A = this chain, B = another copy of it.
Amino acid sequence: ADTAARAGATDRNGQLTKPPGALGRLEDLAIWYAGWAGDARPRIAAPQVLVFAGNHGVAARGVSAFPPEVTMQMVANFRAGGAAINQLSDFAGAQMQVHALDLDTPTADFTQGPAMTGAEVCAAFTTGWNAVDRNADLLVTGEMGIGNTTSAAAIVTALLGGDDWTGRGTGVDDAGLARKQAVIAAGLAANPKRSGLEVLAALGGREVAAMAGAIAGARALRIPVILDGFICCAAALCLQAEEAGALDHCVAGHLSAEGAHARMLEALGKQPLLSLGLRLGEGSGAALAIQVLKGALACHSGMATFAEAGVAAG
Contacts and interface: CB of A to CB of B under 8 A. Distances in A.
Contacts of A284: 23, 299
A249 interface: no
A87 interface: yes
Interface in A1-47: 16-26
A80 interface: yes
A88 B295 contact: yes
A83 B303 CA distance: 5
Interface stretch (A102-110, A120-128, A272-280): A272-280
Interface stretch (A62-70, A240-248, A259-267): A62-70
A257 interface: yes
A19 B25 CA distance: 31
Contact of A87 (B67, B280, B299, B311): B299
A252 to B, nearest CB: 13
The count of identical subunits is 2
A171 interface: yes
Interface stretch (A71-79, A182-190, A206-214, A216-224): A71-79
Give the interface centre of A69, A73, A311 by most chain B CB atoms within 10 Å: A311
A84 B22 CA distance: 10
Contact of A312 (B69, B277, B291): B69
A193 interface: no
A55 interface: no
A270 interface: no
A187 B302 CA distance: 39
B18 A310 contact: no
A175 interface: no
Nearest to A300: B87
A309 interface: yes
Given A22-B278, A279-B22, A284-B23, A304 B67 contact: no
Nearest to A67: B312
B170 A65 contact: no
Given A69-B312, A77-B311, A82-B303, 4 more contacts: A26-B276, A87-B302, A91-B298, A291-B295
